[in-house]
Amino acid sequence: MRTTLMAWLNVFRGFPSIAVGLLIVGLYAAMALLAPWLAPMDPIAVHADAVLSPPSARFLLGTDGNGMDLFSRIIYGARYAFGIAVPAVLLSILIGLPVGLWAGYRGGWIDEGLLRCMDLLRVFPSIILALTIVAATGQSIMNVILVIGLLDAPIFARVVRAEILALRGGLLMESARAIGNGTSRMLFVHLLPNSISGALTQISVRMAWAIRVSATLAFVGIGIQQPTPEWGAMIRQGAEFMVTGEWWVALFPGMALVTLIFGLNLAADGIQDWMGRRRTQR
């Protein structure tokens, strides 16, 4: 147990981006989990006497146009961020991994279908696509999760497919067959575990993406609405007040959003570097 701890500390020392990235993500995750204990006030409680008041001792980050405490809302907002990103990415993996595996190993119509799908997705800017679909199909959180999950699945599929194609006819497969493995063992014991490193690095990237999309949807007025303490919706409201000088209403949710996305991308970069180093050295 102690040696694994030491090993991890060494990884962090060599790849500080992983450390910093995971630290940020960890803090936000803690925020999401412990929101009821961390938030000083009820996020949707209206304080009619303190509408649009700037940051003070009472309201650490000020209040918004409805008199709700920004600090508490931002803390609770983490729940929505993770609550959408995590299920969405899980859905993507659940769909994308098997499809990629089949497409890479068997080829045929699944492979063709996947490639056409990817081509199609490349045509439309994905945010617009997400916006349109959610607007058309109903504006609930479940919908947002489904849409993001489905749009991201082909990316996981493609990444897994590429690695499988590279390994498929290679020595590892020949050797596994020569030893006497049947098809299912060859696939799941030998091929798949050696093809998922790409997918692992994508997880962090896609989570950042999912958070951005859901925030954008809320900002544009689709999906989550007031008084739900979601960062995108909060920025939407705050945008109006930028002009009149109440800068804190938009700024703090914005910073929260940017920092989390930054943390996720930083961790993703670091993990990619680390995996690359591991492959050539270990």
Partner 1 sequence: MTPAATSDAVNPVLSIRGVHLAFASRDALGAVRRAHVLNGVELEVGPGRIVGLIGETGAGKSMTATATIGLLPPSAEIKGQIIFEGVDLLSLQGAALDKVRGARIGFVAQNPRAALEPVTRVGDQLVRLIQAHSSLSSQAARERAIAILEAVGIPDPQARYRAYPHELSGGMAQRVVIAMALVNQPQLVIADEPTTGLDVTVQAQVLDLLQQLVRAQGAAALIITHDLGIVAQYCDDMAIMFAGRVVERGPVAHIFAKPQHPYTRRLIAASRARIGTALTSMKSDPPDLFRQTTACVYADRCELVAAVCQSAPLEKSCSTAAPDHRVLCHLAQTP
Partner 2 sequence: MTTLTSPEPALLQLKNVSRSFDVGGKRPLVAVRNVSLQIQPGEVVGLVGESGSGKSTIGRMAIALLPPTSGQVSFDGRDLAVMSPAELRSLRQRMQIIFQDPWGALNPRHTIGRLMEEPLLLHTTLSAAQRREEVIAIAQRMQLGLPLLERYPAQLSGGQLQRVCIGRALATKPDLLVLDEPTSSLDVSVRAGILQLLDNLRRETGVAMLFISHDLETIHALCDRVVVLYLGCEVETGPVDAVFKNPAHPYTQALLSAQLFADPAVKTVRQHLQGEIPSPLAAPPGCPFSTRCPVYDAGCDAGLPAMRVDSDGVHAARCIRLAPDRFPSLTETN
Q: Which residues bind partner 2 (CB under 8 A)?
A: 170-172, 174-182, 185, 189-190, 193-194, 282
- Is position 122 an interface residue for partner 1 (rule: CB under 8 A)? no
Token pair of 8 as six digits: 């991890």
- Is position 4 an interface residue for partner 1 (rule: CB under 8 A)? no
**Which one of residues 15, 82, 102, 219 is an interface residue with partner 1 (CB under 8 A)?**
15
Nearer to partner 2, 190 or 206 (CB): 190
Sequence-distant (≥ 6) Cβ neighbours of residue 153 within 8 angstroms: 91, 92, 93, 95, 96, 99
- Taking contact as CB under 8 A, which single stretch among the options 13-21, 83-91, 164-172, 221-229 is the one that binds partner 1? 13-21
- Taking contact as CB under 8 A, which single stretch among the options 57-65, 135-143, 238-246, 273-281 is the one that binds partner 1? 273-281
For residue 42, with 0-12 CB atoms within 10 Å meaning exposed, 13-18 middle and 19 or more buried, which class applies? middle
- Taking contact as CB under 8 A, which single stretch among the options 3-11, 89-97, 164-172, 227-235 is the one that binds partner 1? 3-11
Q: Give the shortest CB-190-to-partner 2 separation in angstroms.
A: 5
In whole angstroms, what is the distance from residue 222 CA to residue 148 CA?
14
* Contact between 199 and 162 (Cβ < 8 Å): no
Nearer to partner 2, 175 or 225 (CB): 175
Nearer to partner 1, 42 or 269 (CB): 269
- Is position 2 an interface residue for partner 1 (rule: CB under 8 A)? no
Query: Could you tell me which of 78, 82, 25 has the C-alpha nearest to residue 269?
Result: 25
Q: Give the shortest CB-170-to-partner 2 separation in angstroms.
A: 7
3-state secondary structure of 64: coil
H helix intervals, 180-247: 183-185, 197-220, 231-243
Query: Could you tell me which of 188, 186, 163 has the C-alpha nearest to residue 175?
Result: 186
Nearer to partner 2, 128 or 178 (CB): 178
Nearer to partner 2, 180 or 245 (CB): 180
In whole angstroms, what is the distance from residue 273 CA to residue 233 CA?
35
Nearer to partner 2, 190 or 236 (CB): 190
**Which one of residues 7, 123, 128, 171 is an interface residue with partner 1 (CB under 8 A)?**
7
Token pair of 231 as six digits: 């960062």
Q: Read off φ and ψ for residue 69, nearest 5 degrees.
A: -70, 125
3-state secondary structure of 68: coil
User: What is the binding site for partner 1 (CB under 8 A)?
Assistant: 7, 10-15, 274, 277-278, 281-282
